[in-house]
Amino acid sequence: MSQHIVSSFDRDLEAVQAMVVKMGGLVEAQLLDAAQALETRDEELAETVRGRDKAVDKLEEQINEEAARLIALRSPAASDLRVALSVIKISGSLERVGDYSKNIAKRTQVLSQMPTISGSAGAIRRMAQAVEGMLKDAIDSYIQRDEKLAADVRSRDIEVDQMYNALFREFLTYMLEDPRNITACMHLHFIAKNIERMGDLATGIAEQVIYLVTGEMPDEDRPKSDSVTLDKVED
């Protein structure tokens, strides 16, 4: 910002980006609260998470409207247009992260009626914390156009994949041990999968940042966990 004259476009963009930061913060809180509700079997907190998703959706709508208004009003040139369009992509990703948190909250309410699968909720919470950190840094890297921080987010996705793989094996063991665990484990497995997907979405935001800064999307062969379980067949 300090290197060139601040234009009307830049000022308007800053306002939209502030909304993206706000949306990021809300979505991070949703994820952490959803994971906590799961661990403490707090149905009330789960209900709060479900209700708050409307605010996330509303924010995405507002951001899209503002970005469209910005484009219409300022008719930005190619590189600025790319930035304005990235706002739409990023808020779309955050909205999906919000949806997954809401889904976790719904499953938490169902799981509260079932036998506990020992240790799993704690492992899921740790996974959620790792992904929350990725989301936070992805948004930060976006605001600061920090390519290095974005690359760091991208590389951390491998840890989340490993956590997911470990959980998948654990759930399979519990199901084989006792068929009465099957339904609970399937819900927990979907929750773990949803968090793993949030990690992918944070990585996607980081890749947008790299694209904005360098003009090129990073290589396809992003670091992936070596441990190939039968289930790790995403993308």
Residues of this chain that interact with a copy of itself (CB under 8 A) are 64, 68, 71-72, 75-78, 81-82, 85, 88-89, 92, 99, 102-103, 106-107, 110, 172, 175-176, 179, 182-183, 186-187, 189-190, 230-231, 233-235
Minimal CA–CA distance to 146: which of 197, 205, 201? 205
Q: How far is the CB of 109 from a copy of itself (least distance, A)?
A: 8
Of 55 and 176, the one with the shorter C-beta distance to a copy of itself is: 176
Q: How far is the CB of 151 from a copy of itself (least distance, A)?
A: 21
Of 18 and 68, the one with the shorter C-beta distance to a copy of itself is: 68
Of 137 and 203, the one with the shorter C-beta distance to a copy of itself is: 203
Of 136 and 169, the one with the shorter C-beta distance to a copy of itself is: 169
Angle (CA) 72-77-80 rounded to 5° is 85
Of 154 and 187, the one with the shorter C-beta distance to a copy of itself is: 187
Q: How far is the CB of 67 from a copy of itself (least distance, A)?
A: 8
Radius of gyration for the chain, computed over Cα atoms and rounded to the nearest angstrom = 19
Q: How far is the CB of 94 from a copy of itself (least distance, A)?
A: 14
Contact 196, 164 (CB under 8 A): yes
Q: How far is the CB of 2 from a copy of itself (least distance, A)?
A: 26
Of 99 and 140, the one with the shorter C-beta distance to a copy of itself is: 99
Of 35 and 71, the one with the shorter C-beta distance to a copy of itself is: 71
Our measurement of the distance from residue 52's CA atom to the centroid of its chain's CA atoms, rounded to an integer in Å, reads: 16
Q: How far is the CB of 49 from a copy of itself (least distance, A)?
A: 13
Q: CA–CA separation, 108 vs 113, rounded Å?
A: 9
Q: CA–CA separation, 182 vs 161, rounded Å?
A: 22
Q: CA–CA separation, 182 vs 20, rounded Å?
A: 39
Q: How far is the CB of 222 from a copy of itself (least distance, A)?
A: 14
